[in-house]
């Protein structure tokens, strides 16, 4: 399966390409400081500047959070979860760090345009 990745949209010339890339890309937003053994919140948002459709045949079906090669969590959505209107899907994942550093990425799957992967975000974990 092809994995699509975010491209810096400031380098893209046409608005339609910016819209397409941005609204399908997942963005990882760690919340605060991570401490080993304590619950930690990681927000994953699909789309930064642009909203994604929420139609019966075109929606974000799932979002996953990864730490390197280890899948930490997945949220599955159905069509209409966002009120059948274009919106930016946001999911808060609660994870418990067990090592000194997390290398977080997110995957988002669009039912029409396939799999998209975020850029890696490094989170330092304190003892």
Ranges of the chain whose pLDDT falls below 50 = none
What's 36-63 look like in SS3? CCCCEEEEEEECCCCCECCECCECEEEE
CA gyration radius, the chain: 15
- What does the pLDDT read at residue 44? 98
First to last CA, the chain: 38
Write out the CATH class of domain 3-126. mainly beta
Listed by start position, the domains of the chain span 3-126
State the number of CA atoms in the 13 A half-sphere of 96 facing the CB: 3
11-38 per-position pLDDT tens digit: 666 666 666 788 889 999 999 999 999 9
- What does the pLDDT read at residue 14? 63
- What does the pLDDT read at residue 5? 76
Give the burial string for 9-38 (b: 16+ CB within 10 Å, else e).
beeeeeeeebbbbbbbbbbbebeeebeeee
Measured in whole angstroms, how far is the alpha carbon of residue 91 from the centre of its chain? 8
- What does the pLDDT read at residue 20? 76
- What does the pLDDT read at residue 101? 97
């Amino acid at each position: 399966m092809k994995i699509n990745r975010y491209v810096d949209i400031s380098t893209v010339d046409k608005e339609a390409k910016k819209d397409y890339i941005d609204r399908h890309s997942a963005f990882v937003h760690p919340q605060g400081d991570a401490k080993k053994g304590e619950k930690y919140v990681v927000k994953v948002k699909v789309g930064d500047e642009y909203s994604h459709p929420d139609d019966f045949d075109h929606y974000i079906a799932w979002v996953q959070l990864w730490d390197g090669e280890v899948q930490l969590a997945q949220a599955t959505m159905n069509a209409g979860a966002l009120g059948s209107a274009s919106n930016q899907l946001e999911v808060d994942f609660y994870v418990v760090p067990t090592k000194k550093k997390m290398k977080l990425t997110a995957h988002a799957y669009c039912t029409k345009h396939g799999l998209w992967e975020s850029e890696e975000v490094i989170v330092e974990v304190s003892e």
